[in-house]
Amino acid sequence: MQSIDEVIIGRQGSAGLIRLNRPQALNSLTLPMIRAIAAALREFAADPSIASVIVRGEGDRAFCAGGDIRLLHESGKQGSSDAETFWREEFRLNHAIADYPKPYVALMDGITMGGGVGLSSHGSHRVVTERTRFAMPETGIGYFPDVGATWLLPRAPGEAGTWMGLTGLAINAADAIHARLADHCVASSDLSALIEAIGALPVAASPADVHTVIAGMAVAAGESRLVANRDTIDRALAYDTVGEIQEALAQEAGDFAAETRQIISTRSPTSLKLTLRLLRAGRSSTSLAECLNRELGACMRILYNPDFYEGVRAAVIDKDRNPKWSPASLAEVAASDIDRFFVPARPPLFET
């Protein structure tokens, strides 16, 4: 099986091993990486000597910090098809992970954001560590949670997923487990031993066998901020408009509500309204495929949204962290402005 420099493909006993190898870029995904991962998964699925697949990031800072935002930004500016190609292949990979026929073990050690969530939280066995910093930070760059997050986040307990999607703030291992985006916490120092133990399983190993190995090495995940503030989150973020959520947060006592309200006020108003509507649509959806199709349509429209270019400029290019959103307020974003994001992409990714 062939590796590329940015994705190292190998095996550990009966386990296929995929290593993201862009540590200097926090293992952010490029299109060649997506293609290499997809090809490896197909080959591992067809290989009778492979019982499971393990995905991890190289370096000690990140599992995967997301997708190639610069490529998407440049493609939109140039009017090329590169962004659409990237999204279509990335979303197909997300769906393939969710539907994978063998145990898929994601080791979410360090930063796990955006596209990294798509590579991990759709898997059958999701491992976090004490170093996990997990987020869908897209409202801060004029974008929205994609990679199937509009399927995952609405299925978190209460309104935890709404809080994550709107604020974009990072959560820890205990939070990710609470939000049903991860399963077990294993010490980062034990990950190599975990890989060896999974690889030592027989070829006939079942998903339950992999679960037993991981559970046997799991440790307490610590305290969850989402659990500690669940009542506030569930009360204030249950509304279906961002304005009502902000008003409800203003009525809540305590620093958590004040911080949440302040953070939301700094995000792109268009992205906030789009994100909330996508999350509510995802809540009533019947499949991941349906959500990915909807997300792709929104992606194609995001290329015409000035906030996307301004957000990427402020966060990635100039790094001044001072985006100027247009429109600048929630009140200026009309319902018809959000309706445009719900035009289906053609052809759809999946027939549903």
d(CA 118, CA 349): 16
CA distances in angstroms from 289 to 34, 72, 95, 294, 318, listed in the order given: 18, 22, 7, 9, 36
Radius of gyration of the chain (CA): 20
Beta-sheet strands, E only, within the chain:
7-12, 15-20, 52-57, 62-64, 104-108, 111-113, 125-128, 133-135, 184-185
Query: If we measure between CA atoms, which residue out of 226, 129, 225 comes closest to residue 182?
Result: 129
The tokens for 108 are 């979410």
| Rounded Cα gap, residues 223 and 205, in angstroms | 33
Instruction: Give the tokens for residue 15.
Output: 């386990």
Read off the tokens for 94: 């997300």
Residue 222: predicted pLDDT: 96
Measured in whole angstroms, the distance separating CA 265 from the mean position of its chain's CA atoms is 22
Whole-angstrom CA distances from 272 to 77, 88, 227 are 23, 23, 23
Which of 155, 109, 195, 131 is closest to 279 using CA atoms?
155
Dig out the tokens for 166 from the structure. Answer: 């709107």
pLDDT at 3: 65
Q: Give me the pLDDT at residue 143, please.
A: 98
Per-residue confidence in pLDDT tens, the chain, 352 aa: 556 799 999 999 999 999 999 999 999 999 999 999 999 999 999 999 999 999 999 999 999 999 989 889 999 999 999 999 999 999 999 999 999 999 999 999 999 999 999 999 999 999 999 999 999 999 999 999 999 999 999 999 999 999 999 999 999 999 999 999 999 999 999 999 999 999 999 999 999 999 999 999 999 999 999 999 999 999 999 999 999 999 999 999 999 999 999 999 999 999 999 999 999 999 999 999 999 999 999 999 999 999 999 999 999 999 999 999 999 999 999 999 999 999 999 999 999 8
Pairing type for strands 15-20 and 7-12 reads: antiparallel
CA gap 89, 108 in Å, rounded = 22
Contact 349, 91 (CB under 8 A): yes
Task: Report which secondary-structure segment, H or E, holds 38.
Answer: helix 31-46
Task: Give the C-alpha separation, 101 to 51, whole Å.
Answer: 10
Q: Give the bridge partners for 12, in sequence order.
A: 15
The CA distance from 172 to 29, in Å, is 22
Q: How far apart are CA 232 and CA 246, in angstroms?
A: 12
Residues taking part in catalysis = 67, 115, 138, 146
* DSSP state, residue 343: S
Quote the longest CA-to-CA distance of the chain. Answer: 60
Phi/psi zone of residue 330: left (φ > 0), alpha (ψ -120 to 50 degrees), beta? alpha
Are 116 and 136 in contact, with CB atoms under 8 Å apart? no
What are 309's two structure tokens?
A: 């270019």
The first and second tokens of residue 227, run together, are 């659990």
H-run or E-run covering 195: helix 191-199
**CA atoms within 13 Å, Cβ hemisphere of 7:** 24
